[in-house]
Chains A and B, each alone.
Chain A
Amino acid sequence: MLVSLKWLKDYVNLQELPAQELAEKITRSGIEVDAVIDRSFGMTNVVVGYVEACEKHPEADKLSICQVNVGEETTQIICGAPNIAAGQKVIVARPGAKLPGGIKIKKAKLRGQESNGMICSLQELGIEGKLVPKAYAEGIYVLPEEAEIGTDVVTNFDLDDTVLELGLTPNRADAMSMLGVAYEVGAILDEEVLLPEITYSEAAEKADSLLTVRVDDPEVNPLYVAKVVRNIKVQESPMWLQQRLMAAGVRPHNNVVDVTNYILMEYGQPLHAFDYDLLGTGNITVRHAKEGEKITTLDDAERTLSAHNLVITNGEKPVALAGVMGGANSEVSGSTTTVVIESAYFDSGSIRQTSKDHGLRSDASSRYEKGVDPNRVIPAAERAAALLAELADGEVLAGSVVFDALDRAEKVVSVSPDFINQRLGMKIRFEDMLDILNRLKFKTEAANGQLVISVPTRRQDIQIEEDVVEEIARLYGYDEIPATLPEMETKPGGLTPYQEKRRVVRSLLEGAGLLQATTYSLTSEKSAQQFALTETETTKLLMPMSEERSTLRQSLLPHLLESVSYNTARRSDSVALYETGSVFLKTEDELLNEEEHLAIAMTGLWLDNSWQGERKEADFFVLKGIVESLSEKLGVELAFERGQMDGLHPGRTAFIMNDGKRIGILGQLHPTEQKVRDLKTTIVMELNLAELLHKNSEPLVYTPVPRYPSISRDIALVLSKIVEAGTVVNVIRNAGGKLLKDVRVFDLYEGDKMEAGKKSVAFSLTYFDPEKTLTDEEVTAVHEKVLRALMEVGAELRS
């Protein structure tokens, strides 16, 4: 909402406050002022001129040489506007003038001709092009004849004005009108509000002799008022009206349309003017549209209607989309002589729906949607009649044609002062509360210690006691509220075990050298299922903004890999990222199964200590090591099984298993996938973190520090290449029994000293008995058993 302070002064005394100060007061008490706009933009030396003569420039087709009387003198100005003509009153920026945007006007020569100033368009005075009346949109603005030559344009045409741009919250529909803002400012400044005076003389003939009104559904249209104004002269509105509309962000058209818009801004009540003769019948019927019925609205769009759209008809065909936009078939034009002014109350839900159906929002619909003041419908119609009589020489027919089933009673809210103070934690005196309610012009009675408040219908946001609490508090001042802390039973706060473990996981991963990433949950349908651990259908948005963000992810990896590619494309060759976040899986239920996953992706160097010659590429085992330390930290057993997944290297992929259940995947990207993503060797991992974090941790009980020494024996085996170390470890463990405390792989050799198809793997075995020092014989006995078991499965000792 744009509020011209010059206009606002018509209704409320602004106490000569500087605009910034007023804006601050309004902001602090409830409506945020987003901007304070000086309409003059510091303009100087811009005056009314009279074009005494105008001829074509001999050397430039598009330029005219004008002799302009600017009061003090008649001077030559070159003008490029197509609509310049002798006999016009125009806006002249004199040499030395300052215009918006820091433009300074100087004497100049244009194609050899002297030019002493500039004849201006409204755009050059800082008015937005879309607000300039169509007739002047492409050229200079022509002032009315009565404009006085040589006088200052800024002061004469109300450009010495300041506009407050209000950022309205949806509850403050009342402030979508000048009167509403006047009430708000009146309450803040403790000033009275002056309503517009409505006086006009009526013709003898009655409006209902020309017009009937029928409403089919009083539920959605409980009040319809029509006035008929005859013999009107459709013309340009006077300057003051045009300026006020432009200040409010509305483009002037002609006096009839401008009057309806002016009252929309003044009262917040949408009006519509029909050309009576184009209506064709003298009957207005408000009804639901027929399914498939069509109307062409004022914006020249043909719209196909459905039954829940409310239309105004002439008894036969629609002439307006009720509360949203008029129809082209009954539009007021230069040849209109009789108009019907409609002022109505429509149900907000119905208008919202229609506006949404047709993607059509207008100044009218945006007010109806939020609810207009039922007590302004009739005054607005009267005010329109008065202004049309004044500005269009119209003859107002007697009375109105009315359908009225609207309850206009004021809502009564009772609230006790104690309740107000208790909610606020304050001690506001009763008199101060009364004073605030009076300033708001809320009729208030004090009965049995209660405040009984009749809330004016313009404030439909005040419904319950708490709403009154807010009104009192905001005008009393939020700065007055003391700062206390809740008094309640003290309970320890904290994280749930799940949340605490999540933090443990994060700190472990960060300690291991990974950076935490965050990516989007929405992805393309194509990549939604890539790397998914569970196969389910995709979940798509009804109305995505783009295909790229249309579907919920089922794996974190596609976006995490995008982040890796983003980095390598920017020369960060070594990247190690992790992310925890939800993946979204369809279930039988309405809601999705949101599974918290952990994903890791790494590429490039894992370790780089160049001057000591230590370099380690990120590989499968680097990431496996991280997963293993995670398993130890959480105290959950994780096993690795050879696996396969699209997009991963078939020989370098493992499923991560827990309790026999597949809960994750670890592997190197398939070369093809790497190429598609423009990546070098990249290792990825994703697992179902929720599954791990939901497990109860075992209590930690200490194992006595060994009192007896342990004994190590190493074995180097020659194995077939296809035999996995894990298998061998299992054989050793089984044979070693309880004296075997640990088995570690400490060497792997696959070089050319080995027979083809063979490799050498060395294991270090640790024997230990918690009860005593093992003798050499005891160890040898078990060790021999281990060796025999290994021979049985085909392993050979390496000589």
Chain B
Amino acid sequence: MEEQLQGLKTEALEKIASAANVKELNDVRVAYLGKKGPITDLLKGMGKLPAEERPKMGALVNVVREDVTASLEERMVILEEAAINEKLQSETIDITLPGRPVKTGNPHPLTRVVEEIEDLFISMGYEIAEGPEVEKDYYNFEALNLPKGHPARDMQDSFYITEDILLRTHTSPVQARTMEAKGGEPIKIICPGKVYRRDNDDATHSHQFTQIEGLVIGEDIRMSDLKGTLSVFAKKMFGEDREIRLRPSFFPFTEPSVEMDISCFKCGGTGCNVCKKTGWIEILGAGMVHPNVLEMAGYDSKRLTGFAFGMGPERIAMLKYGVEDIRHFYTNDVRFLSQFQRTEV
């Protein structure tokens, strides 16, 4: 019987070693250790043995059973790991396939430019003022030192609705309205918005476009403050190493009036096609608020002075992004619009 037992053990261990997978191994377990297995049979047959041999044989059977069980478990660990590995292998994906797209839109390039400018000036303590696009002649012209018959009215041929009401030709009426509303108090505002002029639409003209203007009024506001403010703006918008220069100009609502150029951000000032070989790019118009404008809005022009500046986001966007035709901003071709997604920060 002992021999029989050893034979069983050897046989079981061989089968365990040759089991190829978890299922086969489980079959071995059932075959040898199960209730109907040979070892159980042997134990059942112990009753036929003489009483004095029974303990010895019992111990022997248990040893064999434990050896077989230990071997089984050891083998099980190996086979289970192999099974997992095989499963993982079969689950491998092509990681080069595209991800599930996240649908994202983005702001219009002009909004992008306007908000960038707004945020810069907000950080310097400015508020954003807005006003109507259909305006009274008074706010659009007269309050800005452009009385009826003033030659400078030719500079901006306008769309009138009645003799006295027109589509605003610039965002300056918002300044006039703000000044009137503030009743002599200091002001620091930025006014963005749509404006309209009688122009035939082509690559560089649009009957509708946007403007963004700034106005600061306070005690002792000097032209040097204007220059400093514009310099901060130019560096922030176009790069830290930008220089600015002011050139004399004329606007009825400012005196002195200037135009501001920045050193070319493409060539750095050596001359290229962006700056038309001059090294400088014209960016905006500005000046010290004309005393007539202050007085008309109820400000004491002897006590309070101010500066104003204005620019075209279309022009800035065209320069910054290299857009060659202003009409792109209004045709809304998705192949154009969707290019303004990426951050530039």
Contacts and interface: CB of A to CB of B under 8 A. Distances in A.
- Tell me whether A and B are bound partners: yes
Chain A interface residue bracket vs B = 35 or more
B186 interface: yes
Interface stretch (A144-152, A247-255, A588-596): A588-596
A491 B188 contact: yes
A424 interface: yes
A608 B98 CA distance: 12
A594 B133 contact: yes
B34 interface: no
A521 B247 contact: no
Nearest to B287: A470
A169 B250 contact: yes
B334 A567 contact: yes
B225 A169 contact: no
Interface string B243-276: 0011111100001111000000000000000000
A512 B103 CA distance: 7
B70 interface: no
A423 B219 CA distance: 11
A15 interface: no
Chain B contact residues: helix, strand, loop or mixed: mixed
Contact of A541 (B155, B161, B332): B161
A17 interface: no
Contacts of A473: 223, 248, 256
Contacts of B334: 515, 567, 572, 575, 577
B141 interface: no
B208 interface: yes
Nearest to A421: B222
B222 A424 contact: yes
Interface string A158-189: 00000000000111110000000000000000
Contact of A522 (B207, B219, B247, B291): B207
- Identify the interface centre among B115, B154, B248, B258: most chain A CB within 10 Å of its CB: B248
Given A485-B225, A520-B330, A566-B331, A542 B162 contact: yes
- Identify the interface centre among A516, A545, A584: most chain B CB within 10 Å of its CB: A516
Nearest to A467: B255
Interface stretch (A25-33, A231-239, A787-795): A25-33
Contacts, number: 247
Interface string B162-201: 1011010000000000000000001010000010101010
B134 A592 contact: yes
Interface in A447-489: 464, 466-467, 469-470, 473-474, 478-479, 481-489
B223 A423 contact: yes
A440 to B, nearest CB: 13
A170 B153 CA distance: 9
A490 interface: yes
Contacts of A541: 159-161, 167
- Identify the interface centre among B118, B232, B250: most chain A CB within 10 Å of its CB: B250
B225 A484 contact: yes
A322 interface: no
Contacts of B305: 423
B333 A570 contact: yes
A28 B247 contact: yes
B229 interface: yes
A32 B247 contact: yes
Interface stretch (B5-13, B50-58, B79-87, B123-131): B123-131
A387 interface: no
Contact of A481 (B101, B167, B246): B246
B95 interface: no
Interface in B266-293: 288, 290-291
Contacts of B332: 515, 517-519, 563, 566-567, 577
A122 interface: no
Given A423-B305, A516-B337, 5 more contacts: A488-B218, A510-B107, A513-B103, A522-B207, A612-B100
Interface of B: 97-98, 100-101, 103-108, 110-111, 115, 118, 121-128, 130, 132-136, 149, 151-152, 154-155, 159-162, 164-165, 167, 186, 188, 194, 196, 198, 200, 207-208, 216, 218-225, 227-229, 231-232, 245-250, 255-258, 288, 290-291, 305, 329-335, 337-338
- In the complex, the 9 A-B pairs of residues with the closest C-beta atoms, listed nearest first: A425-B224, A513-B103, A425-B222, A169-B250, A470-B256, A483-B228, A563-B332, A478-B246, A30-B248
